[in-house]
Amino acid sequence: MTPLTAAIVGAGPAGLFTLDALLRQAPDVQVDVYERLPTPYGLIRSGVAPDHQGVKAVVRQFDRAFARDNVRLIADCDVGSALPLDLLREAYDLVFLATGAPRGRRLRVPGEELSGVYCAAAFMAWLNGHPDHRDLEPQVGERVVVVGGGNVALDVTRVLAKSEAEMASSDLCAHARRVTGAAQTITVVVRAPPEGARFTPTELAALGRLEAANVSVELPATADLSVQVVAALARLPSGSPAAAARIRFRFGLQPIEVLGRGRVEQVRFRGAGGDEVVAADTLIVAIGQEASPPVAMERTCPVGWAGGGRGDIPRARMEAAETARRMLAGATATPRAVARARLAAWLQDSGAGVLDWAAWRRIDVAECAAAVAPRPREKLVSWDALRDTARLYET
């Protein structure tokens, strides 16, 4: 009997939750997971804040999936740019595109191109050692403005405001540790009123526990304290006035211009009371990310951000389960020996030098061995270092 086959393009949360859902609903399905990077886990490795080790622990359930004989990781393989997507569609009964949202949204205001302006997604990737962003080298000054009303804005703020000791048990990369404690003032500007902020109470509460920062929240008199996020903002303790960093929340301000001579010096905002200028030598934009338009093809399904999703990890898990259920319901196992032989020949002869799960484990072991406790790992941050380590003792 011909087994059902599936390819998942992207080994981030959406792709791996889809893998988990497929294995739960169709345990015998043959699944190959393709990943552009030498490492799996996507945003869990390179987007989740380095001090959120509890969140990153979700990868353990995915490790169990790759231990199965009917699951393969094919990493360091760029589907689309190198490996044609049509070849995958010919070789598999189902194809899931979990390619994420790689582009950070821009403010689209004059001056945004100045030095010192960074997309939060790229900034977090640099903190986490993503090889595409190792050369970003952001210059974080004493006056930071973060524009955004979601948890990514809080992640950036928290990491910048933490002391070196508070970050000691994180996997913050060595090249990024200089930013810890660099900022003296961090102004978090939310374009919406406080009721429209998308912060979660848990993430807000974490700011109130910082040792080296105090927090001030400027809520308008009309703020509705019955709204959960507003109540959580109002509960934030101010902290010690002598703290090294000051975090200030502002609401209902629209950025209209970035000012500076070669580098950001000020950001102009427009609010109900008119225009105001906030001093800044660093501006981090955390207003979301953009995915490429989804691919609409028979037996091919975009998932996660690539499919329009915008949820957190629990929602990504739920959406993946529903998508797997829907696609499996209409799936038919079809003999594809010729197409799979062409695919195997491409993987072997193209010079791509793809990496498997054992190669990732060599990277994992090397990173963990290089760490000085209590740090969980010391990440490899260049393509060459990752590839060289992955191929150590390769037979």
Tokens at 292, concatenated: 């490429």
Query: Do 283 and 296 fall within a single domain?
Result: no
**Count: domains in the chain:** 2
Would you call 119 exposed, middle or buried from its count of C-beta atoms within 10 A (0-12, 13-18, 19+)? buried
Angle, in degrees to the nearest 10, between helices 313-329 and 13-25: 50
Other beta carbons within 10 Å of 175: 16
**CATH number for the domain including 215?**
3.50.50.60
Residues 6+ positions from 193 with CB-CB distance below 8 Å: 220, 223, 251, 252
- Tell me: do 285 and 308 sit in the same domain: no
User: What percentage of the chain has pLDDT greater than the value 70?
Assistant: 97
Q: What is the C-alpha separation between 29 and 38, in angstroms, rounded?
A: 24
**Rounded Cα–Cα distance for residues 107 and 109 (Å):** 6
Q: Is residue 365 part of a domain?
A: yes
Domain boundary pick from 265, 289, 313? 289
Number of other residues whose CB lies within 10 A of the CB of residue 332:
9
Single-letter residue type at 129: G
For residue range 68-100, what is the model confidence (pLDDT) as tens digits? 999 999 999 999 989 999 999 999 999 999 999
Closest to 174 (Cα-Cα) out of 132, 129, 227, 216: 129
Verify that 336 and 211 share a domain, yes or no: no
Ranges of residues in the chain whose predicted pLDDT is under 50: 395
Q: Name the packing angle between helices 13-25 and 59-66 (round to 10°).
A: 50
Residues 257 and 163 in one domain: yes
Residue 245 domain-assigned (yes or no): yes
Q: Domain holding 326: CATH number?
A: 3.40.50.720
Domain containing 345 equals: 5-101+291-390
Share of the chain above pLDDT 90, in %: 85
Output DSSP code: residue 355.
Answer: B
State the pLDDT at residue 395. 46
**Residue 166, SS3 per DSSP:** coil
The encoded tokens of residue 325 equal 């259920």
pLDDT of residue 352: 61
Same domain, 296 and 376: yes
Q: How far apart are CA 206 and CA 155, in angstroms?
A: 10
Residue 395 lies in a domain: no
Query: Is 269 in contact with 259 (CB distance < 8 Å)?
Result: no
Q: How many CB atoms lie within 10 A of CB 373?
A: 7
Q: Both 71 and 199 in a single domain? A: no
